[in-house]
Amino acid sequence: LKAYQMKSSDVSVTLAANGGLVRAHPASARMYQGSYQGDVTVDVRGKQPRIAMNEKLTGVQIEPLLTDMQGKAKITGTANMALKLDAVGNQPQAIRRTMNGNASFAFTDGVVKGMDVLGEIRKAYALVRGKPPANVSGETEFSALTGTATITNGLVNNPDLQGKSPLMQVQGNGTANLVTEALDYRITATLVDSLEGKGELTGRPIPVSITGTFAKPKVRVDLEQVLKQEVQKQVEKQLQDKLKGGLKGLFGQ
């Protein structure tokens, strides 16, 4: 805990070591307004250390935790996480490259820093309407953000990302590479309210891709298909109105 600059209290660890096999279990602590529980095994009997982790964070404020560990945090909010991972190596890069396992996460009442999905949608809509581009804040607010993941040799595959906020809901899937820090996500955003679009976009699924890296994510909004559907709907409505008017004139009622 000291090595990672983490602040904690009420730390309780039972440690057992035998012939190069070391296990810390049970392990628990209070930290960042929440709690930690873990079961960590380090096997140094071979040429490279093998690490196995089964850890849980409950009710933890994730921003100060990540800031203390890494110097910065890309996400804020209250976190509940479960990790079951194993890896080989004694250097961070080697550990990330050989990491395998699964995870689940649930964040509440926070923001994702470095990307503004709602702002990019508003910006794209303004551009196709020939209006001045909307402002982009660089943050995506959420009331809930959940998902599960499998990790294979450092590649995180997240098939069921879901997010909610008062103005937007998102769902999708993608990958995050712990070695190269590359992102590749495809999500569908649905606006609960859209003042700029006067309701045109409300309730309609909007395709969004998130690529780039952890440090510099790139958000691309594909409004073309959504607006084509809207134009087609308006044309069909006009044709139906004309057909009804023609029939009324023909039969006099």
Determine the residue type at 205: P
Of 137, 134, 117, 136, give the one whose Cα is nearest residue 126.
134
CA 120 to CA 96: how far, in whole Å? 32
How does pLDDT run along the chain (253 residues), one tens digit per residue?
Answer: 776 788 999 999 999 999 999 999 999 999 999 999 999 999 999 999 999 999 999 999 999 999 999 899 999 999 999 999 999 998 989 999 999 999 999 999 999 999 999 999 888 888 777 788 778 888 999 999 999 999 999 999 999 999 999 999 999 999 999 999 999 999 999 998 755 555 667 888 899 999 999 999 999 998 776 677 666 666 777 777 777 666 555 555 5
What pLDDT score does 196 carry? 54
213 exposure class (CB count in 10 Å sphere: 0-12, 13-18, 19+) = middle
What pLDDT score does 253 carry? 54
CA 77 to CA 148: how far, in whole Å? 18
CA 80 to CA 103: how far, in whole Å? 11
CA 13 to CA 28: how far, in whole Å? 6
pTM listed for this prediction: 0.85
DSSP state of 133: P
What pLDDT score does 55 carry? 97
